[in-house]
Amino acid sequence: MKVTITAGNLGQGLQVVSRAVSSRTTLPILNNVLLQTADSGLQLTATNLEIGIRQVIPAEVQEEGGITVPARLLTDFVTAHPDEPLSMTLDRKTQSLAVKSNRFDANIRGIDPADFPPVPAGVEGRKVKVDQAELKDAIEQTVIAASSDEGRPVLTGVYVQLDGGKATFAATDGHRLAVKTVGVQAEPGEGETIVIPARALSELSRILKAADEGVEVTVGAQKNQVFFKTRDVELMSRLIEGTYPNYQQVIPGQSTTTITAKTQELLFTTKMVSLFSKDAANVVKFKAEGGKLTLTANTSEVGQNVAAVEAKIDGQDLQVAFNSKYLLDVLAIIGSDEVQLGFTGPLNPGLIKPVGKDNYLYIIMPVRVAM
């Protein structure tokens, strides 16, 4: 293998695929990134056996071949290097990669690519196409509610239902629920449901751009893999087995109290008030009374902070408390100028949704505290 490539292009590609490099593994090969020549340049591949990421970057290929080298070492070296041409030459006898530039002459010991786990270039199955920006929003607005508790693996994923021309994403950790619906272009077929690991979707979100072209999504025929393909990046992920809980039953009905506020003002005020709640399970109390919304947090060790938020309040007066982290998470990514909070009582789930949009909702469970 012999290629010439710019440090800038190689560094960007390594930062993308390195998201799939295993941080904790007993297999040395999983710490490596696979470099292979391709028709259009240099192909980079990384995997942790759960997810795999592949990207082809522009390069001048003088001699074909491939090698795997430590991902962190190569990434750190290339990203710190000035953006100038690099010559990379493989010595097959020693399985080492010579990386040369005007100032540096580095040799990196590698491992034979034959030992690298196979990362499929695609899977057979039903294909759908979705806008990159819409998919990115759907991921970011739902993964925040996925659980980190490996004791219930299915809740560490995002439930995706493909039905006709739409895809519904849902995630819950038992304390909150996020549901987002986006339009898709789908091949004819029956509706289906899958559970995608939240971590895989988070990595995909970091890769996606607000680009015009869509993302091709293929669900494997065996329902054990999902494959995402953009113009220059591919991501494969295993699916989570198990039955996802019926989240529809926790969505509240008609609200008896509705609060409408400016998103950024409510976000800022909640953040400031919550500084006084860190020693009290992040609990912030909300009081909607007399057409005014008041937020309060207090702990005996720290003190108290009270703030008023300009809001429109319809319906009954209400006093309710939340874990402020759950509220801050959604306000930061809800993507609308105004937000609406709906309640059916102080101990029932609260419904949060963007004003002017009906394709997203977020449910948050209240905290039982003395008011």
Mean pLDDT of the chain: 92
Amino acid, single-letter form, for residue 184: V
Rounded to whole angstroms, what are the CA distances from 6 to 56, 59, 79, 100, 283? 13, 8, 11, 11, 51
For domain 251-364, the CATH superfamily is DNA Polymerase III, subunit A, domain 2 (3.10.150.10)
pTM of the model: 0.91
pLDDT for 371 equals 60
Query: 125-248 adopts what CATH topology?
Result: DNA Polymerase III; Chain A, domain 2 (3.10.150)
In Å, the largest CA–CA distance within the chain is 80
Instruction: Please indicate whether the domains covering 2-115 and 251-364 agree at the CATH topology level.
Output: yes
Question: What region does 120 belong to: left with phi over 0, alpha with psi -120 to 50, or beta?
Answer: beta
342 neighbors 370 (Cβ within 8 angstroms): no
Amino acid, single-letter form, for residue 65: G
pLDDT in tens, the chain (371 residues): 999 999 999 999 999 999 999 877 778 899 999 999 998 899 999 999 999 999 999 999 999 999 999 999 999 999 999 999 999 999 999 999 999 999 999 999 999 999 999 888 777 788 899 999 999 999 999 999 999 998 899 999 999 999 888 999 999 999 999 999 999 998 777 778 999 999 999 999 999 876 667 899 998 877 889 999 998 899 999 999 999 999 999 999 899 999 999 999 999 999 999 999 887 789 999 999 888 899 999 888 889 999 999 999 999 999 999 999 999 999 999 999 999 999 999 999 999 999 999 999 999 999 987 66
Amino acid, single-letter form, for residue 141: Q
Domain locations along the chain: 2-115, 125-248, 251-364
> 2-115 architecture in CATH?
Roll (3.10)
